[in-house]
Amino acid sequence: MARIGIVGGTGYTGSELLRLLAGHPRAQVSVITSRAEAGQRVADALPMLRGRVDLVFEDPERAALAECDLVFFATPNGTAMQHAPALLDAGVRVVDLAADFRIKNLSVWERWYGMPHAAPALVDEAVYGLPEINREAIRAARLVANPGCYPTAVTLGLLPLLECALIDATRIIADGKSGVSGAGRKANAGLLMAEVGESFKAYSVAGHRHEPEMEETLRMATREQVRLIFVPHLVPMVRGIEATLYAELRDADIDLYQVFAQRYVNEPFVDVVPADLAVETRSVRGSNLCRIAVMEPQRKGVVVVQSVIDNLVKGAAGQAVQNMNLMLGFAETDGLDGVALSP
Protein backbone atom coordinates (compact mmCIF):
# COMPACT_ATOMS: atom_id res chain seq x y z
CA MET A 1 0.00 0.00 0.00
CA ALA A 2 1.23 3.45 -0.90
CA ARG A 3 1.62 5.82 2.05
CA ILE A 4 -0.47 8.93 1.60
CA GLY A 5 -0.43 12.20 3.51
CA ILE A 6 -3.12 14.85 3.66
CA VAL A 7 -2.27 18.38 4.77
CA GLY A 8 -5.34 20.19 6.03
CA GLY A 9 -7.81 17.47 6.70
CA THR A 10 -10.79 19.20 8.27
CA GLY A 11 -12.28 20.91 5.25
CA TYR A 12 -14.60 19.34 2.72
CA THR A 13 -11.92 18.37 0.22
CA GLY A 14 -9.87 16.80 2.99
CA SER A 15 -12.76 14.77 4.35
CA GLU A 16 -13.75 13.72 0.84
CA LEU A 17 -10.18 12.47 0.25
CA LEU A 18 -10.55 10.40 3.41
CA ARG A 19 -13.87 8.99 2.22
CA LEU A 20 -12.51 7.98 -1.17
CA LEU A 21 -9.20 6.64 0.12
CA ALA A 22 -10.98 4.57 2.80
CA GLY A 23 -12.03 2.31 -0.06
CA HIS A 24 -8.86 2.46 -2.13
CA PRO A 25 -7.20 -0.92 -2.78
CA ARG A 26 -3.62 0.32 -3.10
CA ALA A 27 -3.27 3.51 -1.10
CA GLN A 28 -3.71 4.31 2.54
CA VAL A 29 -3.71 7.57 4.43
CA SER A 30 -0.92 7.34 6.98
CA VAL A 31 -0.65 10.98 8.02
CA ILE A 32 -3.22 13.73 8.23
CA THR A 33 -2.54 17.18 9.60
CA SER A 34 -4.61 20.01 10.97
CA ARG A 35 -3.09 22.85 12.89
CA ALA A 36 -6.37 23.68 14.63
CA GLU A 37 -7.39 20.11 15.46
CA ALA A 38 -3.98 18.58 16.23
CA GLY A 39 -4.43 15.77 18.74
CA GLN A 40 -8.10 15.19 18.01
CA ARG A 41 -9.29 11.91 16.54
CA VAL A 42 -10.36 12.33 12.93
CA ALA A 43 -13.51 10.30 13.53
CA ASP A 44 -14.61 12.65 16.29
CA ALA A 45 -14.46 15.66 13.99
CA LEU A 46 -15.93 13.79 11.02
CA PRO A 47 -18.50 11.36 12.41
CA MET A 48 -19.21 9.68 9.07
CA LEU A 49 -15.70 8.23 9.32
CA ARG A 50 -16.27 6.54 12.73
CA GLY A 51 -15.12 2.95 12.48
CA ARG A 52 -13.38 3.57 9.16
CA VAL A 53 -10.54 5.95 9.94
CA ASP A 54 -8.40 5.53 13.00
CA LEU A 55 -6.07 8.48 12.53
CA VAL A 56 -5.39 11.44 14.77
CA PHE A 57 -4.85 14.93 13.34
CA GLU A 58 -1.20 15.84 13.67
CA ASP A 59 0.50 19.20 13.81
CA PRO A 60 1.82 19.88 10.30
CA GLU A 61 5.22 20.92 11.66
CA ARG A 62 5.80 17.54 13.29
CA ALA A 63 3.98 15.15 10.98
CA ALA A 64 6.03 12.61 9.06
CA LEU A 65 4.92 13.90 5.70
CA ALA A 66 8.33 13.35 4.16
CA GLU A 67 7.91 9.62 4.62
CA CYS A 68 4.83 9.53 2.42
CA ASP A 69 4.83 8.48 -1.20
CA LEU A 70 2.40 11.25 -2.06
CA VAL A 71 0.94 14.20 -0.18
CA PHE A 72 -2.29 16.00 -0.93
CA PHE A 73 -2.59 19.66 0.05
CA ALA A 74 -6.23 20.28 0.96
CA THR A 75 -5.36 23.71 2.28
CA PRO A 76 -6.33 27.33 1.57
CA ASN A 77 -4.67 29.05 -1.37
CA GLY A 78 -1.09 30.08 -0.53
CA THR A 79 -0.19 27.15 1.71
CA ALA A 80 1.06 24.52 -0.70
CA MET A 81 3.48 26.93 -2.35
CA GLN A 82 5.15 27.36 1.04
CA HIS A 83 5.50 23.70 1.93
CA ALA A 84 5.55 21.72 -1.30
CA PRO A 85 9.19 22.53 -2.17
CA ALA A 86 10.61 20.75 0.86
CA LEU A 87 8.47 17.67 0.27
CA LEU A 88 9.42 17.54 -3.40
CA ASP A 89 13.08 17.79 -2.37
CA ALA A 90 12.48 14.82 -0.11
CA GLY A 91 11.21 12.82 -3.05
CA VAL A 92 7.53 13.04 -2.18
CA ARG A 93 5.03 13.49 -5.01
CA VAL A 94 2.55 16.33 -4.40
CA VAL A 95 -1.01 17.10 -5.51
CA ASP A 96 -2.26 20.57 -4.57
CA LEU A 97 -6.05 20.81 -4.44
CA ALA A 98 -5.86 24.59 -4.04
CA ALA A 99 -4.96 27.11 -6.73
CA ASP A 100 -1.25 27.71 -6.10
CA PHE A 101 0.03 26.01 -9.24
CA ARG A 102 -2.97 26.17 -11.57
CA ILE A 103 -2.06 29.27 -13.60
CA LYS A 104 1.21 29.51 -15.51
CA ASN A 105 1.07 33.27 -15.99
CA LEU A 106 2.46 34.50 -12.69
CA SER A 107 1.28 38.07 -12.97
CA VAL A 108 -2.25 36.89 -13.71
CA TRP A 109 -2.06 34.57 -10.71
CA GLU A 110 -0.74 37.24 -8.39
CA ARG A 111 -3.40 39.74 -9.45
CA TRP A 112 -6.29 37.33 -8.88
CA TYR A 113 -4.98 35.74 -5.70
CA GLY A 114 -3.63 38.93 -4.18
CA MET A 115 -0.25 37.67 -2.99
CA PRO A 116 3.24 37.18 -4.37
CA HIS A 117 4.00 33.62 -5.39
CA ALA A 118 6.40 31.83 -3.04
CA ALA A 119 7.61 29.18 -5.49
CA PRO A 120 7.55 30.58 -9.02
CA ALA A 121 9.97 27.97 -10.33
CA LEU A 122 7.53 25.21 -9.45
CA VAL A 123 4.70 26.89 -11.33
CA ASP A 124 6.42 26.00 -14.58
CA GLU A 125 7.06 22.45 -13.53
CA ALA A 126 3.60 21.76 -12.17
CA VAL A 127 1.26 19.79 -14.40
CA TYR A 128 -2.37 20.89 -14.61
CA GLY A 129 -4.15 17.83 -13.34
CA LEU A 130 -6.93 17.38 -15.83
CA PRO A 131 -6.28 13.84 -17.07
CA GLU A 132 -8.44 14.35 -20.13
CA ILE A 133 -5.81 16.71 -21.54
CA ASN A 134 -2.61 15.93 -19.61
CA ARG A 135 -2.72 12.21 -18.80
CA GLU A 136 0.84 11.32 -19.77
CA ALA A 137 2.36 14.41 -18.20
CA ILE A 138 0.51 13.66 -14.97
CA ARG A 139 1.96 10.14 -14.81
CA ALA A 140 5.45 11.60 -14.81
CA ALA A 141 4.77 14.66 -12.67
CA ARG A 142 6.30 15.36 -9.29
CA LEU A 143 3.79 18.17 -8.71
CA VAL A 144 0.21 18.28 -9.94
CA ALA A 145 -2.10 21.28 -9.74
CA ASN A 146 -5.55 19.86 -9.25
CA PRO A 147 -8.03 21.94 -11.29
CA GLY A 148 -10.71 24.14 -9.82
CA CYS A 149 -14.25 22.82 -9.66
CA TYR A 150 -15.84 25.19 -12.16
CA PRO A 151 -12.86 24.92 -14.55
CA THR A 152 -13.24 21.13 -14.60
CA ALA A 153 -16.89 21.29 -15.63
CA VAL A 154 -16.38 24.15 -18.09
CA THR A 155 -13.17 22.91 -19.70
CA LEU A 156 -14.51 19.41 -20.30
CA GLY A 157 -17.65 20.94 -21.78
CA LEU A 158 -15.77 23.15 -24.23
CA LEU A 159 -12.75 21.07 -25.20
CA PRO A 160 -14.29 19.08 -28.07
CA LEU A 161 -15.72 22.25 -29.61
CA LEU A 162 -12.46 24.17 -29.41
CA GLU A 163 -10.19 21.30 -30.41
CA CYS A 164 -12.26 20.89 -33.57
CA ALA A 165 -12.50 24.66 -34.07
CA LEU A 166 -16.27 24.42 -34.25
CA ILE A 167 -17.03 27.63 -32.36
CA ASP A 168 -16.06 31.27 -32.21
CA ALA A 169 -13.61 31.08 -29.31
CA THR A 170 -13.95 34.77 -28.55
CA ARG A 171 -17.65 34.70 -27.71
CA ILE A 172 -18.13 32.02 -25.10
CA ILE A 173 -20.56 32.31 -22.20
CA ALA A 174 -20.20 30.00 -19.19
CA ASP A 175 -23.08 30.23 -16.76
CA GLY A 176 -22.01 28.20 -13.71
CA LYS A 177 -24.05 27.01 -10.74
CA SER A 178 -22.65 25.42 -7.61
CA GLY A 179 -23.89 23.88 -4.42
CA VAL A 180 -22.77 25.56 -1.21
CA SER A 181 -20.06 23.05 -0.27
CA GLY A 182 -17.93 24.71 -2.92
CA ALA A 183 -17.41 27.60 -0.53
CA GLY A 184 -15.76 25.39 2.07
CA ARG A 185 -16.27 24.91 5.78
CA LYS A 186 -15.35 28.32 7.15
CA ALA A 187 -17.54 30.23 9.59
CA ASN A 188 -19.14 32.77 7.27
CA ALA A 189 -22.48 34.39 8.00
CA GLY A 190 -23.13 34.73 4.29
CA LEU A 191 -23.26 30.95 3.89
CA LEU A 192 -25.57 30.17 6.79
CA MET A 193 -28.48 28.05 5.67
CA ALA A 194 -30.79 30.86 6.79
CA GLU A 195 -28.99 33.14 4.31
CA VAL A 196 -28.72 30.88 1.27
CA GLY A 197 -31.47 28.29 1.69
CA GLU A 198 -34.59 28.79 -0.46
CA SER A 199 -32.80 31.42 -2.52
CA PHE A 200 -30.72 31.73 -5.66
CA LYS A 201 -28.25 34.36 -6.76
CA ALA A 202 -25.26 35.09 -8.91
CA TYR A 203 -22.03 36.05 -7.16
CA SER A 204 -18.62 37.37 -8.16
CA VAL A 205 -20.19 38.75 -11.32
CA ALA A 206 -17.44 41.33 -11.54
CA GLY A 207 -14.87 38.55 -11.88
CA HIS A 208 -14.11 35.12 -10.44
CA ARG A 209 -10.67 33.54 -10.03
CA HIS A 210 -11.70 30.53 -12.04
CA GLU A 211 -12.15 32.59 -15.20
CA PRO A 212 -8.44 33.16 -15.94
CA GLU A 213 -7.82 29.49 -15.12
CA MET A 214 -10.39 28.43 -17.71
CA GLU A 215 -9.09 30.83 -20.34
CA GLU A 216 -5.47 29.76 -19.90
CA THR A 217 -6.26 26.07 -19.88
CA LEU A 218 -8.40 26.27 -22.98
CA ARG A 219 -5.86 28.40 -24.79
CA MET A 220 -3.03 26.01 -23.96
CA ALA A 221 -5.08 22.97 -24.91
CA THR A 222 -6.39 24.32 -28.17
CA ARG A 223 -4.02 27.10 -29.23
CA GLU A 224 -7.01 29.34 -29.74
CA GLN A 225 -7.26 32.76 -28.10
CA VAL A 226 -10.25 32.42 -25.82
CA ARG A 227 -12.52 35.15 -24.49
CA LEU A 228 -14.95 33.68 -22.03
CA ILE A 229 -17.52 35.35 -19.78
CA PHE A 230 -18.07 33.31 -16.62
CA VAL A 231 -20.80 34.05 -14.07
CA PRO A 232 -21.11 31.70 -11.09
CA HIS A 233 -24.31 31.22 -9.11
CA LEU A 234 -25.09 29.72 -5.72
CA VAL A 235 -27.66 26.89 -5.64
CA PRO A 236 -29.48 26.00 -2.39
CA MET A 237 -28.09 22.47 -2.29
CA VAL A 238 -24.94 20.97 -0.81
CA ARG A 239 -23.11 19.23 -3.67
CA GLY A 240 -22.99 19.61 -7.41
CA ILE A 241 -21.95 21.93 -10.20
CA GLU A 242 -23.79 22.53 -13.42
CA ALA A 243 -22.36 24.68 -16.18
CA THR A 244 -24.41 25.76 -19.16
CA LEU A 245 -22.11 26.84 -21.95
CA TYR A 246 -23.06 28.91 -24.98
CA ALA A 247 -21.04 29.58 -28.12
CA GLU A 248 -21.58 30.56 -31.74
CA LEU A 249 -21.19 27.64 -34.15
CA ARG A 250 -18.97 28.27 -37.15
CA ASP A 251 -20.76 25.71 -39.30
CA ALA A 252 -24.18 24.17 -39.45
CA ASP A 253 -24.88 20.47 -39.86
CA ILE A 254 -22.43 19.07 -37.37
CA ASP A 255 -23.33 16.01 -35.34
CA LEU A 256 -22.43 17.53 -32.02
CA TYR A 257 -23.17 14.39 -30.03
CA GLN A 258 -20.71 12.42 -32.16
CA VAL A 259 -18.02 15.07 -31.72
CA PHE A 260 -18.27 14.78 -27.97
CA ALA A 261 -18.77 11.02 -27.88
CA GLN A 262 -15.65 10.42 -29.93
CA ARG A 263 -13.53 12.90 -28.01
CA TYR A 264 -14.32 11.13 -24.76
CA VAL A 265 -14.79 7.55 -25.96
CA ASN A 266 -11.86 6.28 -23.90
CA GLU A 267 -12.33 8.51 -20.90
CA PRO A 268 -13.44 6.54 -17.84
CA PHE A 269 -14.89 9.59 -16.11
CA VAL A 270 -16.60 11.54 -18.86
CA ASP A 271 -20.04 10.38 -19.94
CA VAL A 272 -21.57 12.01 -23.01
CA VAL A 273 -25.32 11.72 -22.73
CA PRO A 274 -27.81 11.80 -25.61
CA ALA A 275 -29.50 15.17 -25.60
CA ASP A 276 -32.93 13.74 -24.83
CA LEU A 277 -31.79 12.44 -21.43
CA ALA A 278 -31.61 14.68 -18.40
CA VAL A 279 -28.22 15.81 -17.17
CA GLU A 280 -28.74 16.56 -13.52
CA THR A 281 -26.21 17.03 -10.75
CA ARG A 282 -27.67 14.24 -8.66
CA SER A 283 -26.74 11.71 -11.33
CA VAL A 284 -23.06 12.27 -10.43
CA ARG A 285 -23.36 12.97 -6.69
CA GLY A 286 -20.55 11.25 -4.86
CA SER A 287 -19.02 9.92 -8.10
CA ASN A 288 -16.03 11.07 -10.13
CA LEU A 289 -18.01 11.45 -13.34
CA CYS A 290 -18.54 14.47 -15.54
CA ARG A 291 -21.77 14.08 -17.51
CA ILE A 292 -22.21 16.22 -20.61
CA ALA A 293 -25.02 16.84 -23.07
CA VAL A 294 -24.75 19.02 -26.16
CA MET A 295 -27.24 20.41 -28.67
CA GLU A 296 -28.02 23.30 -30.98
CA PRO A 297 -31.50 24.40 -29.85
CA GLN A 298 -33.90 25.49 -32.57
CA ARG A 299 -31.00 25.45 -35.05
CA LYS A 300 -30.23 29.04 -34.18
CA GLY A 301 -26.49 28.70 -34.65
CA VAL A 302 -25.66 28.55 -30.95
CA VAL A 303 -24.38 25.40 -29.32
CA VAL A 304 -25.53 24.74 -25.75
CA VAL A 305 -23.51 22.38 -23.57
CA GLN A 306 -24.63 21.18 -20.16
CA SER A 307 -21.86 19.80 -17.97
CA VAL A 308 -22.39 18.41 -14.46
CA ILE A 309 -19.96 17.19 -11.82
CA ASP A 310 -19.87 16.68 -8.07
CA ASN A 311 -17.78 19.68 -7.05
CA LEU A 312 -16.13 17.70 -4.23
CA VAL A 313 -15.31 14.64 -6.35
CA LYS A 314 -14.49 15.27 -10.03
CA GLY A 315 -14.25 18.93 -8.99
CA ALA A 316 -11.75 18.27 -6.19
CA ALA A 317 -10.94 15.10 -4.22
CA GLY A 318 -11.97 12.53 -6.80
CA GLN A 319 -9.91 14.14 -9.52
CA ALA A 320 -7.02 14.33 -7.04
CA VAL A 321 -7.26 10.59 -6.46
CA GLN A 322 -7.46 10.05 -10.22
CA ASN A 323 -4.24 12.06 -10.52
CA MET A 324 -2.66 10.06 -7.69
CA ASN A 325 -3.58 6.83 -9.46
CA LEU A 326 -1.81 8.03 -12.59
CA MET A 327 1.25 9.29 -10.69
CA LEU A 328 1.67 6.08 -8.70
CA GLY A 329 0.99 3.71 -11.56
CA PHE A 330 -2.33 2.37 -10.30
CA ALA A 331 -5.40 1.70 -12.38
CA GLU A 332 -6.93 5.10 -13.09
CA THR A 333 -10.28 4.06 -11.64
CA ASP A 334 -8.97 2.52 -8.40
CA GLY A 335 -11.04 3.71 -5.46
CA LEU A 336 -13.30 5.70 -7.77
CA ASP A 337 -15.89 3.12 -8.77
CA GLY A 338 -18.70 4.09 -6.39
CA VAL A 339 -22.05 4.61 -8.07
CA ALA A 340 -23.56 8.09 -7.69
CA LEU A 341 -26.00 8.47 -4.83
CA SER A 342 -29.40 9.20 -6.33
CA PRO A 343 -31.93 10.09 -5.14
Binding to a copy of itself, residues 210-239 (CB under 8 A): 211, 227, 229, 231, 233, 235-239
Instruction: Return all residues near 193 (Cβ < 8 A) that are at least 6 apart.
Output: none
Q: State how far the Cα of 258 lies from the Cα of 264, in Å rounded to an integer.
A: 10
CB of 100 to a copy of itself, least distance (A): 23
Candidates 251, 266, 298, 329; binder of a copy of itself (CB under 8 A) is 298
Quick one: 125 or 337, whose CB is closer to a copy of itself? Answer: 337
306 binds a copy of itself (CB under 8 A): yes
Candidates 35, 104, 219, 246; binder of a copy of itself (CB under 8 A) is 246
CB of 144 to a copy of itself, least distance (A): 24
79 binds a copy of itself (CB under 8 A): no
Q: State how far the Cα of 237 lies from the Cα of 228, in Å rounded to an integer.
A: 26
Q: Which helix (H) or strand (E) holds 113?
A: helix 106-113
Q: State how far the Cα of 183 lies from the Cα of 303, in Å rounded to an integer.
A: 30
Of 163, 160, 122, nearest in space to 142 by CA: 122
Residue type at 262 in one-letter notation = Q
CB of 264 to a copy of itself, least distance (A): 12
258-287: which residues touch a copy of itself (CB under 8 A)?
271, 273, 275, 277-287
Q: Is-catalytic flag, 164?
A: no
Quick one: 140 or 194, whose CB is closer to a copy of itself? Answer: 194
State the CB neighbour count (10 A cutoff) for residue 51: 8
314 binds a copy of itself (CB under 8 A): no
320-339: which residues touch a copy of itself (CB under 8 A)?
337-339
156-195: which residues touch a copy of itself (CB under 8 A)?
171, 173, 175, 177, 179-181, 183, 185-189, 191-195
Window of 49-57, 66-74, 136-144, 258-266 that interacts with a copy of itself by CB under 8 A: 49-57
Q: State how far the Cα of 332 lies from the Cα of 255, in Å rounded to an integer.
A: 30
- Using DSSP bridges, classify how beta strands 290-295 and 302-309 pair: parallel, antiparallel or unpaired: antiparallel
Residue type at 301 in one-letter notation = G
Instruction: Return all residues near 127 (Cβ < 8 A) that are at least 6 apart.
Output: 134, 137, 138, 140, 141, 143, 144, 145
Positions annotated as catalytic residues are: 149
